A = this chain, B = another copy of it.
Amino acid sequence: MNKRVTIKDVAKKTGLSISTISLVINNKGNVSEETKQKVLQAIEELGYYPARSARSLASRKTGNIGFILTEEHFSRSEPFYTKIFLGTEFESRAYNYYVLLTTVPTQFSKSAIPRFLLENNVDGVIFAGKINQKYVKYVEELGLPYILVDYDLSGKKVSAVMIDNVGGGEMATDHLLKLGYRKVAFIGGDIEHPSIRGRFEGFKKALEKAGVECAVDMCVVEEPDTRVINGYRACEKLFTKLKPEAIFAANDAMAIGCLRFLKEKGIKVPDEVAVVGFDDIEACIHVEPRLTTVRVDKEELGVVAVKHLVEMIRKPNSGINRVYLPVKLVVRDSCGAKKKGFYVFDDSKIDESLI
Contacts and interface: CB of A to CB of B under 8 A. Distances in A.
A2 B142 contact: yes
A49 B62 CA distance: 15
Contact of A77 (B54, B256, B354): B354
A89 B115 contact: no
Interface in A38-93: 49-57, 60, 62, 74-79, 82, 86, 89-90, 93
A244 to B, nearest CB: 23
A53 B57 contact: yes
Given A120-B51, A282-B282, A288-B288, A355 B77 contact: yes
A103 interface: yes
A4 B121 CA distance: 12
Interface in A231-281: 253, 256
B52 A352 contact: no
Contacts of A211: none
A106 interface: no
A45 to B, nearest CB: 15
User: How many protomers of this protein does the assembly include?
Assistant: 2
B287 A60 contact: no
Contact of A1 (B77, B120, B256): B120
A283 interface: yes
Contacts of A57: 51, 53-54, 57
Contacts of A33: none
Contacts of A100: 98, 100
B120 A282 contact: no
A332 interface: no
A253 B62 CA distance: 41
Contacts of A89: 101-103
Most buried by B among A4, A55, A57, A355: A355
A353 B75 CA distance: 12
Chain B CB within 10 Å, residue with most, of A53, A57, A99, A229: A53
Contacts of A352: 228-229
A27 interface: no
A26 interface: no
A156 to B, nearest CB: 22
Given A1-B143, A89-B101, A50 B119 contact: yes
A344 interface: no
B93 A49 contact: no
Interface in A207-232: 227-229
A4 B56 CA distance: 14
Contact of A229 (B99, B118, B288, B355): B355
A100 B99 CA distance: 7
A58 B86 CA distance: 32
B355 A227 contact: yes
A351 to B, nearest CB: 9
A238 B2 CA distance: 54
B62 A355 contact: no
Which 3 residue pairs of A and B lie closest in terms of their CB atoms, listed nearest first? A53-B56, A286-B286, A79-B79
Given A4-B120, A75-B86, A282-B283, 8 more contacts: A53-B55, A53-B121, A54-B57, A75-B354, A76-B355, A79-B79, A282-B282, A286-B287
